[in-house]
Chain A
Amino acid sequence: MHQLENLYRQIIMDHYKNPRHKGLTDDKNYFTHHIKNPSCGDDITIQTRIENQTIKDVRHDGSGCSICCSSASVLASLMIGKDIDHAEKLTLNYLSMIMNRPFDEDLDLDDAMAYQGVKQFPARIKCATIAWKAFENTIKEWSESHE
């Protein structure tokens, strides 16, 4: 059986076909981070509103393959309502999981666990991490402005 069948499971396909929190806003209270992978054309923008140490909203838009686009939707769903320190932990944990490094399996990544199979497709790691890296940059920017 193709490994791909393991990867393209319902969760990923569902977020790909019915993305949540999609569409960008002009609201200046959002942090905006954009990442483009010029070699494949994946192009994702993540917008985040943070208030009182809490992720109040995450928006996303862009173009790319199913792994790339769905992971932005999964990210937004997971992060909204989370405390910023926890959000950072989840982000680093997810990135470690995808890059096949040790990660904390007890930390609840929820739907994002579906991307565990990506490590079997090293060429696709970039697809699964673009949105999350953009979010990681958001947290970095926020932290730097709140030191």
Chain B
Amino acid sequence: MDAHKLKLDFPILQNQPLIYLDTAASSLTPQCVIDTMNEYYTEYPVNVHRGVYQISYKATEKYTQARQTIADFINATFEETVFTRGASSALNLIATSYGLSHVQKDDEIIVSELEHHSHILPWQQVAKKTGAKLIYVPLNKEGRITVENFKRVLTDRTKVVALTYISNVMGYETPLQEIIPLAHQKGAIVSVDAAQAAPHKTIDVKKLNCDFLAFSGHKMFGPTGIGVLYGKQKLLDSIEPIEYGGDMNDNVELFDAVWKDTPYKFETGTPPIAEAIGLAEAVRYLQKLKPEAILAHEQKLKELAVKALLKLDGVTVYNPTSETGIINFNLDDVHPHDAVSFFDEDHIAMRAGHHCAQLIIKWLKVPATLRASFYAYNTEEDVKTFTDAVKKARDFFTSVGF
């Protein structure tokens, strides 16, 4: 993979200095995705499933094909692939619909401190409303979820296992391939937050055998405002929608109504049409680059960077062994918000704060952290600029008295 050549696909990287190290928040958008969405708005900007005129037919066809492309991407069927506003909405749908109707008092829901707020808060609500217990997998010394520790909390009362595939703060991959069969042996279902996995891992929901899985378009070259909920067909058939209105029903009577089959019963209202078509284009772009090649590339960059950072005094890296392109670190005694302004002046964009994952920040016992995340379009020069800037920043803050 030639990252220098790849940069040319991204309009935001032309004609301005920008070292973009915040892909874990949102990836940059390639021209082909922008063009595909523009094409919708210029050539057939109309609703789907409604009109019988030509351009509406075209819109419906493109939208339908988009769903199939995305279903194929994760080895799911068309019916198992539900469009949502993003990973957050998808994860909320799982907890609200499946969770509230299947979890009872004293049941156990296994979660972890590595979860993004969008995967912990919905289950925290389910626990509060049903009287079920939230059980946290103890993290190991590095902050990882291990199979051993998972076994320790798995019981006959476990009804739901809700875990992240890859942590957005530590970049660790959860050993789901081993955890999922163990959960199934106890009759629990497994909900997977794949928001950080989809951008650089080939996801095969059949092989993984997860029950639900969610991801967002904007972290994998796609647009904002769209995400995907995957659910096993029989589960999606058996649960209720959480939003009601146009498009999701078959027959409406005065005092009752009948829903369409999945995926439509979960998708009321005019869908994000341009976004769905844009996401399908993003999937094609990602597949052309090959997720494994992207992961290998970003990992190489991350290792280069970590090696340089570990040589510096006054810099703490919290996840030196992570297997993805995420570095979570701090300048010692410098609040990340002070630090991030320094990097911003060097046109280095990265994240400071708790990354919507306060539990792991508390686990680390720090007020907040800096996060740099590498992706396909980052180069070794970016790494050098970044690590040089960290050194300069550390020297600067020391010089002014931090």
Contacts and interface: CB of A to CB of B under 8 A. Distances in A.
Interface of A: 2-5, 8, 13, 17, 39-42, 63-68, 121, 123-124, 127
A88 B81 CA distance: 56
A123 B345 CA distance: 12
Interface in B364-402: 367-368, 396, 400-402
B353 A40 contact: yes
B330 to A, nearest CB: 12
Contacts of B116: none
Nearest to B337: A65
A66 B338 contact: yes
Nearest 10 pairs of A and B residues by beta carbon:
A65-B337, A65-B335, A8-B400, A13-B401, A65-B338, A40-B353, A41-B368, A66-B338, A121-B341, A2-B345
Interface centre among B336, B401, B402 (most CB of A within 10 A): B401
Given A41-B354, A41-B367, A17 B335 contact: no
A124 B340 CA distance: 10
Interface of B: 335-338, 340-342, 344-345, 352-354, 367-368, 396, 400-402
Nearest to B346: A2
16 contacts: A2-B345, A2-B396, A4-B342, A4-B345, A4-B396, A5-B400, A13-B402, A40-B337, A64-B337, A65-B335, A66-B338, A68-B337, A121-B341, A123-B340, A124-B341, A127-B337
A66 B335 contact: yes
Contacts of B344: 121, 123
Nearest to B344: A123
Contacts of B368: 40-41
A54 B396 CA distance: 41
Interface centre among B336, B338, B342 (most CB of A within 10 A): B338
Contacts of A127: 337
A41 B353 contact: yes
Given A4-B345, A67-B338, 13 more contacts: A5-B396, A13-B401, A17-B401, A40-B337, A40-B353, A41-B353, A41-B354, A64-B335, A66-B338, A67-B337, A68-B337, A121-B341, A123-B341
Contacts of A66: 335, 338, 402
A4 B402 CA distance: 14
A131 to B, nearest CB: 15
Nearest to B355: A39
Contacts of A41: 353-354, 367-368
A40 B336 CA distance: 9
Contacts of B401: 13, 17
A65 B335 CA distance: 5
A5 B396 CA distance: 8
